[in-house]
Structure 1
Amino acid sequence: MLLKGINCLDQPVRHKAPVSFRLMDKCFESLNMSRPSDQALWFFVSLFFFFLLRRSEIASLGKKFGWFALRAEDVSLLDYHGSATVRAQEATSVHIRLRGSKTNQQGEPTLRMLNRSGHAFLCPVFGALCLFKARSSLPAIIPVAVSVNAHDQPNCVSSTAISKVIRQAAVALGEDPAAFSPHSLRSGGTAHMYRTGVDTLTIQFHGRWASDTFKQYTRLCKESVEVLSSKDHQRLKIGMKLLIFESYRICFLKKKRLSYFLPAKVVKSMTTLFVSLACFYSFKLHSFFKSFPLGITM
């Protein structure tokens, strides 16, 4: 009884909604990219999303930074030959070095690298270019969250500023702003990696999760469903039929529960029907899951 009472007091876990590409577009539209502060802000939005960074690893928490907060010297742009560059025409990849995290307090630094995405501004390389332009001549040993404002004075990008631009974009798209936070960028990047077919082990490695908690982020964004239905409608239709019939088959096999409101003959007939329908679609099961674009395998 005591455990039952404690369980009743627990509040359900509410995860922040993952950002979509539409929301990322709206964030970029709301920024004035001629301002150094907005250039730095877009760098943060990009790296949160593409590198699946935690808030404490890059942005300031109030007036403080974690000891492992990303510094400017930890970010580098490389050209095709692997040489450092800050020229937009030559940069092909961005490299970051994470000194630590809440799950890596005393370990070795973690290195991550991403190439150009092919998009004009939804690109980690473009985000890094914005950072170097915004920082001007600031020392490389200070956190990347410190940039120069319009008056050539140091300005710090906080998690509050990131939340503000995300929630303003959500309002512009008619979505609930309270459902989004800086963590939505990390979960959104995870969701899109999963949607494009990246296996879960690679996602876990890239996001540096010590457990499988990242799997709660592998959900679909609205536009993902639209793309999926337009390209793979037939396969999805077959698979959903199979899953529905299989669910009903399992349900009707539990005759004891149904015997209270259905005659035994009806239960038996309906069970036979759904078993037959499930068997009819079962020959398509393997090919359906094998080619399903979300990385589901048998």
Structure 2
Amino acid sequence: MASTIPEHNVLIVDMSAPFGWTSSPAYYGAVGGAISWLVGRESPASMDPNSTDMDTFYPYEWVDDHVMVEPDRGNRLQLANETLRIAMLAVLGPSAINDKKYSTWETRLQVLGLSFDTVKRTISMPQAKIRKALHRVQKRQLKTRGTGPNCNKLSEVSGTIRVPRHGTIPLEQSMRLDLQWFKLILSRGQLQNLPLSQFTKSQPPDVHLYMDASNSGLAVLNPAEKQFIQVKFDEHEQELIQPTTGTDGFTINVWEQLCMALAVWCFGPDWKRKTLSRITYVQAWSDNTSAISWTTRCSSRNRMAQGINIAIGLAEAIYGVRRSCGHLPGSINTMADAGSRACTPHHAKVWSNLSSVLAGPRSCRYPQDLHNLLTQLQSYSLAPGSRLKYEATWRRWSSWCEKRGYSQWLPENVQRHSYQLILFAIKYWYMGSTSGQTFAIGTVLSALSHIAWYHKRERGYSVSLHAGHEMALRGMQRLSPPSKQKLPITKEILRAMRQQLDFRKTHDRVLWGLRSWVSSLYSDARTDGKKVKPYIVQAADVIFSNDSGSTTTRLEDAVAVTILFRGSKTDQAGASTSRSLHRSGSKWLCPVLAAWEHKSHAMQAGPGLALCSFNSSTVLTANSLSTAIKSAVTSVGADPTQFGSHSMRSGGATAMFSAGVDRLTIKLFGRWSSDTYERYTRINELAS
């Protein structure tokens, strides 16, 4: 800023204009540089005769801000602080010191709008800054026009072409896509705890990629993991190549950038899963020096390259990738060169020979029919009745991971995957139920076993919680309310149920007939209302026998009935078994008479019809049985919420215990696979 006083022939120039005025930053920068130069000449030994530390101080300034970064040894921090003060006094005079502007020495400090942690050696963008940037992006998305400076700020980030500074311009679709891209990076990008080594290039590469592109296609090799990407350009892409001239269009530099984009998006999820909490440093090698410059700077005037750069930047943010490119002579990059040209006979032979080193589980060409059989056998390790529950758990797990930016595939090391697994378990236990109550601990454990099953099938290893996180499960068990077992059916309830049924209706006759076998049959005779199970009892599975044990087709000769069970939801091996019952002597509750009625009705439509069906297309459901039970319970003045279809199971086991039947017989007759049946008995209630 300057002015003149003509009458006195005086010219006044103010070089200390407020910030934002012409030449002001340069003025402050010159003064700041002078101060830093003085600080950088000194060391603790030069400032304190008793010190032997001769390492000079590290001076850094940004315009008029000075940032001191020093190791904490001896009195070095105090001397560095005093050195800066003396340098400021020497350059700016005694009025330059403002103690309020000095911060204390910290290992965690926010400088230049970023948070530094010198112990962890990380840098983070503060959450408040991220929220502010997101708000500005979302606000700008709602506008139809934008100013030149605002649009150019976005172009600096996205690497797209700048627009005129002055005036306003319409927000085109490409600009809106850039805003959407920037919003994704801010919301999903890894902007916390970034290692400082990635900015100093001191981090050794985690991955080495070798890539090459030609007018035939492209190839990217990841030898350490025995992976490769190979693309042959189709007719449309070949048409884009032919007319390309100059620096625009589908040029060779764009092909090389496409290699990097494909690599980051294809391999990125695996890199993120393996590194989990840190940045993956990828070193790419190519024999195209021009493409290396494009990819390293991630900036180009080529429109196709701009779109690819945007894709690379988004993948880097989401998957936590830091990449750099280096030059490799074409005479050394032989394998990638052959891979990009493998469609020609000569290079196809070279590629075939060299790519044999990549042969492994991912690329070895076993017969497809054997691979399909392997997949089927893995699926058959799960009982058909359990598959829907496992799939539902996996969908819930995948959705939860996706919302939080986690990979659904956990690393093999339990110390690295246990934390993510226990967080899901807590969420599942505390907020998973739609009734507002926590899930039972058994339900949570089942969900964790479902996730482990998918990892064993797809990744070849199981996942679990370490000992510390298992303590949280015990805490859930203590806080969870005890499970409420259904009360057993009594004779009084059975009589009430029989009185309410209309035996002129086929549905009611089938339902009552089912009750005669319910202690061992009901779960395999009816459907769940959604799908008929493959192991449901059919009419052909029922056989009647006479006094001598021979098969009979006459009701008056039948003294016993045997039913073949071809499987169950708890029968993992699909082994069949049979159970027999004799006449009870009762006309209103007899297993032989009930089975005869069922089979006679079902055989009219064919032996393949389900035993508990009341027409050719409808099978008795669990809901109808439960509704009939609750209605009968209500009529006798009991609480219907304490009864259900499992009350039949409980009633059968309780009656057998009361009759003096031993435990093993009850377990075998009821086809229990464990001692769980003991929880269904209510001996105490009967004894009282």
Per the TM superposition, whether the score is higher than 0.5 is yes
Does 2:521 align with 1:53?
A: yes
Check conservation: 2:630, 2:640, Cα contact below 8 A: yes
Alignment of 1:71-220 (within 5 A): 71-85=538-552, 87-135=554-602, 137-148=604-615, 154-220=617-683
Find the residue that maps to 2:531 and give its secondary structure: coil
Distance 1:107 1:158 in 2: 23
Whichever residue aligns with residue 108 of structure 1, its letter is A
Of residues 495, 498, 501, the one that matches 1:28 is 498
Shift of 1:128: 0.8
Distance 1:214 1:179 in 2: 18
Distance 2:590 2:642 in 1: 24
Distance 1:53 1:172 in 2: 26
Shift of 1:132: 2.7
Query: CA separation of 1:22/1:212 partners in 2, compared to 1, >3 Å: closer, same or farther?
Result: same
Distance 1:220 1:213 in 2: 15
Shift of 1:105: 2.5
Distance 2:635 2:598 in 1: 26
Query: CA separation of 1:4/1:137 partners in 2, compared to 1, >3 Å: closer, same or farther?
Result: closer
Shift of 1:133: 4.1
Distance 1:221 1:95 in 2: 32
RMSD after superposition: 2.2
Question: 1:253 maps to what in 2?
Answer: none
Whichever residue aligns with residue 20 of structure 1, its letter is T
Question: 1:283 maps to what in 2?
Answer: none
Find the residue that maps to 2:526 and give its secondary structure: coil
Whichever residue aligns with residue 145 of structure 1, its letter is C
Check conservation: 1:86, 1:129, Cα contact below 8 A: no
Shift of 1:45: 1.6
Whichever residue aligns with residue 121 of structure 1, its letter is W
Query: CA separation of 1:13/1:35 partners in 2, compared to 1, >3 Å: closer, same or farther?
Result: same
User: Which one has the bigger strand percentage?
Assistant: 2
Distance 1:182 1:4 in 2: 30
Of residues 483, 487, 512, the one that matches 1:42 is 512
Find the residue that maps to 1:43 and give its secondary structure: helix
Distance 1:47 1:200 in 2: 19
Scaled by the length of structure 1, the TM-score of the pair is 0.67
Distance 2:482 2:489 in 1: 21
Check conservation: 2:528, 2:621, Cα contact below 8 A: yes
Runs of 5+ consecutive residues of structure 1 not aligned to the other structure: 227-298
Query: CA separation of 1:33/1:79 partners in 2, compared to 1, >3 Å: closer, same or farther?
Result: farther
TM-superposition CA deviations, 1:35-91 (whole Å, max 9, x none): 222111112122113xx2352x11111131222111111112223243444544222
Find the residue that maps to 2:564 and give its secondary structure: strand
Find the residue that maps to 2:482 and give its secondary structure: coil
Check conservation: 1:36, 1:134, Cα contact below 8 A: no
Query: CA separation of 1:138/1:33 partners in 2, compared to 1, >3 Å: closer, same or farther?
Result: same
Check conservation: 1:191, 1:221, Cα contact below 8 A: no
Find the residue that maps to 1:53 and give its secondary structure: helix
Whichever residue aligns with residue 650 of structure 2, its letter is S
Check conservation: 1:121, 1:127, Cα contact below 8 A: no
Question: 1:13 maps to what in 2?
Answer: 483
Whichever residue aligns with residue 207 of structure 1, its letter is G
> Which protein is bigger by CA-based radius of gyration?
2
Distance 1:156 1:165 in 2: 16
Shift of 1:193: 0.3
Distance 2:655 2:607 in 1: 32
Query: CA separation of 1:88/1:24 partners in 2, compared to 1, >3 Å: closer, same or farther?
Result: farther
Question: 2:385 maps to what in 1?
Answer: none
Which stretch has the larger CA shift, 154-163 or 135-144? 135-144
Check conservation: 2:544, 2:559, Cα contact below 8 A: yes
Q: Percent identity?
A: 33
Whichever residue aligns with residue 638 of structure 2, its letter is E
Whichever residue aligns with residue 211 of structure 1, its letter is S
Alignment of 1:221-240 (within 5 A): 224-225=686-687
TM-superposition CA deviations, 1:196-231 (whole Å, max 9, x none): 000001001111112111112232386x448xxxxx
Higher RCO structure (Cα 8 Å, ≥6 apart): 1
Question: 1:264 maps to what in 2?
Answer: none
Which stretch has the larger CA shift, 63-72 or 6-15? 6-15
Shift of 1:159: 0.7
Distance 2:654 2:515 in 1: 16
Distance 2:511 2:553 in 1: 18
Distance 1:3 1:110 in 2: 37
Distance 1:188 1:99 in 2: 24
Find the residue that maps to 1:117 and give its secondary structure: coil
Shift of 1:10: 2.2
Shift of 1:163: 0.7
Whichever residue aligns with residue 634 of structure 2, its letter is V
Shift of 1:154: 4.2
Scaled by the length of structure 2, the TM-score of the pair is 0.30
Find the residue that maps to 1:112 and give its secondary structure: strand
Distance 1:132 1:6 in 2: 48
Whichever residue aligns with residue 508 of structure 2, its letter is D
Shift of 1:179: 1.2
Runs of 5+ consecutive residues of structure 2 not aligned to the other structure: 1-470
Question: 2:239 maps to what in 1?
Answer: none
Query: CA separation of 1:134/1:173 partners in 2, compared to 1, >3 Å: closer, same or farther?
Result: farther
Report the count of equivalent residues. Answer: 218
Find the residue that maps to 1:162 and give its secondary structure: helix
